[in-house]
Amino acid sequence: MSSSERRLEFRNYFQDNLGSRMVTDKIVKIIVIACVAIAIIPLGSILVDVVRMGVEIISFEFLTALPGAAGSGEGGIANSIQGTFIMIGMTSAIGIPIGVLSGIYVAEYANSRVGKLIRFFNDVMMQFPSIVFGIFAFLFIVLVLGKFNLWAGAIALSLIMFPIIARTTEEALKLIPDTYREAGHALGIPKAIVTVKILLTAAKGGIVTGIMLSVARIAGETAPLIMTILGSKGWFRGTETAMDALPLTIWRLSLLPYDEAVMFGWGAALVLITILLVLNMSVRYLVLHRKGGSGSLGMFMRITGGKK
């Protein structure tokens, strides 16, 4: 049907609309840049405010002393910094092993139906408002034990952490071509050892990235901590008492009617953001300097629905 004249017509038709296509291209480019700008403005203004307000209050005393009387402008937030690091440590101790192992299970062991089911529940858990985990830990740990305690907080936070790690671990393992699994099995290596010694080391970059990003996520959570570790004005005194953490401090101080307290809140926000920034920079370092890690950041954004 298509004679050579007809083909020439096709070609002319195709080349004739070149101008309009160039215009469309330009418009799309402008829209994309505008969207990026709109997305950056709130983020940028929050950062600028936090740094501007926070820098004024931060001093050696602020970072190393216990809080003084509310609104007095004395003392610091050292106990909250300590609490944040303790919560990160305890949560990681629960969340990382469960997350990595369930990710391995879904990627390497589960048949497709069980795997899909677990993945579905992981995704649902990632969409839960974090206060739900706080209420859960409050009902089943705090009320049962009769006291606020750190393990309740760590368990609530680990419920936020492990689905993220499970999904990143699963995705990182799925990126490894089957040929390495086959090579391992062909050498007569048992499956568990193939998984741990060959696949896990190859997926290390992606898994570590997922862990670091989930740590950044839980370090900023407030709601679960209100119900579990409550907040305090003292140093760490064992896991069976209340304790403070940076997000709690920020939340509490920002509600107080004293300017000095609000300023302390800004300072605590800056400290928290700095800690998270350092964590994120270590993540970037790991992504850029370790093989197998590239692309994990985008993967994380995809599976957590773009939440930080």
- The stretch near other proteins (CB under 8 A) out of 134-142, 193-201, 256-264, 272-280 is 193-201
Please list the alpha-helical segments (H only) found in the chain.
Answer: 4-16, 18-57, 60-64, 78-104, 112-127, 130-137, 143-145, 150-174, 178-186, 191-193, 200-202, 204-219, 223-228, 246-255, 259-289, 296-303
Is residue 174 part of the contact set for other proteins (CB under 8 A)? no
Q: Locate 183 and state its tokens.
A: 């090579």
Is residue 184 part of the contact set for other proteins (CB under 8 A)? yes
In the complex with other proteins, the residue whose CB is nearer, 184 or 247, is: 184
Rule CB under 8 A: choose which of 26, 185, 237, 307 binds other proteins. 185
Element counts in the chain: helices (H) and strands (E): 16, 0
Number of residues that bind other proteins (CB under 8 A): 24
**Interacting residues of 158 by C-beta distance below 8 A, sequence separation 6+:** 91, 94, 95, 98, 218
Rule CB under 8 A: choose which of 202, 262, 279, 297 binds other proteins. 202
Rule CB under 8 A: choose which of 42, 146, 188, 306 binds other proteins. 188
Rule CB under 8 A: choose which of 39, 193, 255, 288 binds other proteins. 193
Query: Where do we find the tokens 């937030």?
Result: 77
Report the DSSP beta bridge partners of residue 230: 243
Rule CB under 8 A: choose which of 186, 257, 289, 298 binds other proteins. 186
Spatial separation of the C-alpha atoms in residues 223 and 68, rounded to whole Å: 24
Is residue 189 part of the contact set for other proteins (CB under 8 A)? yes
Give, as ranges, the residues between 105 and 144 that touch other proteins (CB under 8 A). Answer: 111-112
Residues engaged in binding other proteins (CB under 8 A): 111-112, 177, 179-190, 193-194, 197-198, 201-202, 204, 291-292
